[in-house]
Amino acid sequence: MPTRLCEGSGTGRFARCGAAISKCSRPPSRRGPGHTRWRPPARQDAPLASYRADDHGQGAARNFAEATHRFFSEAVRDGHLCRSPTDGLGKPPQQHNRRPINAREEANLRAWICLRRRDPILDLLLLDLFIRSGSRREGILQLTVDGIDLVGCAIQVFQKNAKGQRIPVARSVLRRALELGRERGATEGPDRVLRQQHGAPVTRRYLDTLFHTAAAELAYGADGAFVGVSPHWLRHTSTDRIRQATKDPFLSSFWMNHSMSQFGISSPYLTNPSWAELCVAAERAFGRLED
């Protein structure tokens, strides 16, 4: 039998934790003590996905709270503890200060990319894809040659929980993406289209550097309000322009690939927008899809 943790002689919070993990008679989990689940490291070629099971929260404080809760939950499931000392421990609230960027702020961002960035062709393409699709960053990072439908003016992205979504995007933007990808080594269907100058696919780190630098140098807009530059701010921008163009909150929510449950008891009776309706909304918000 494995040795269980004993109640310590400390004070304060550690003493309370000691009481929680002292001797108990709870039977072990069905896996049995000493058989803690092991997760292999992620493969280099593993697909990116938003909100994976091991990605919790945003910020160091939220990550620490979730990791601590997960650690003790595993110990409880394996029969090492009676109960978790983190029961009732909440996570720090998120700071929801995101807002859409306006036309002037977008113009400033584009000018900054042209003047300060080493690869403005790629960065301007990323900006257009984020704003015109409203996709999460993992969806854009994983965009492949097969995921671009030049004839149908659409992209196929995989985002939250690897759920696929087809989004109408202007053919001119898609043509730029395909040309850049082919010039930089994306020759086959599964190849990622968005690539750096040396041929490697764009990574999370590349996006972080791009938007963190932009946020530092373009900190405040014309109205003096803070301008956060990130894929999620651009996602808000995309959805806000769809909302302004259609005046339809249900279609705007569908555009963001959100659950319809937020519409309450009416949600089962609402029909998802058709592909034609999505195309009309995209043209009203961002201009013609076809050349």
Q: What is the CATH number of the domain that holds 201?
A: 1.10.443.10
Q: Are 276 and 236 in contact (CB under 8 A)?
A: no
Please list the alpha-helical segments (H only) found in 99-230: 103-116, 120-133, 137-141, 171-183, 204-217
Residue 31: give the domain boundaries. 1-39+52-90
Same domain for 252 and 133?
yes
**Is 114 inside a domain boundary?**
yes
Instruction: Please count the structural domains in the chain.
Output: 2
Q: Are residues 109 and 81 in the same domain?
A: no
CB 157 within 8 A of CB 117: no
Q: How confident is the model at residue 226 (pLDDT cuts 50, 70, 90)?
A: low
Residue 98 maps to a domain: no
Residue 45 in domain: no
pTM: 0.69
Residue 17 has pLDDT above 50, yes or no: no
Among the listed ranges 2-16, 32-46, 47-61, which one has the minimum average pLDDT value? Answer: 2-16
Higher per-residue pLDDT: 232 or 229: 232
Whether residues 197 and 223 share a domain: the answer is yes
The answer to whether residue 46 is domain-embedded is no
> Same structural domain for residues 209 and 160?
yes
How many CA atoms within 13 Å lie on the side-chain side of 134? 26
Better-scored residue on pLDDT, 288 or 64: 288
Say yes or no to pLDDT of 24 above 60: no
18 and 108 belong to one structural domain:
no
Same domain, 165 and 192: yes
